[in-house]
Amino acid sequence: MKQKTIAARYYLNTSYLSTIFTAHTEQRFVDYLTVVKLKRAAFLLKKTRLKVIEIAARLHYKDVGYFSRLFKKKYGITPLEFRNQEQTDYQI
């Protein structure tokens, strides 16, 4: 879900939503959303047989390369390496 969609749902300006979200959580909305999406990706990698490109698309990443770079930045390994490892930490 996008910030714009959430703001519209609650009749808020996107800038205001961003400001109050940061004030209450001490992190930017976009950073929080990225973490949630990457945790969901980790779950899907472990619990489904979906291809990485399909997971990226489900999470609204148009560029699978960008998705893979974000994933590697968070977890230190590629999505495929993550899928093949034993231990996980993907809870939302």
Distance from C-alpha of 91 to C-alpha of 17, rounded to nearest angstrom:
25
> What is the average per-residue pLDDT within 64-76?
97
Confidence class for position 69, pLDDT limits 50, 70, 90: very high
If one counts every other C-beta atom within 10 angstroms of the C-beta of residue 38, the result is: 19
- 3-state SS, residue 45: helix
**Degrees (nearest 5) of the Cα angle 49, 32, 36?**
15
The residue-averaged pLDDT of 62-78 equals 97
Instruction: Give the pLDDT confidence of 1-60 residue by residue, as tens digits.
Output: 788 999 999 999 999 999 999 999 999 999 999 999 999 999 999 999 999 999 999 999
**pLDDT score of 89 more than 80:** no
- C-alpha distances in angstroms, 23 versus 4, 30, 90? 18, 14, 26
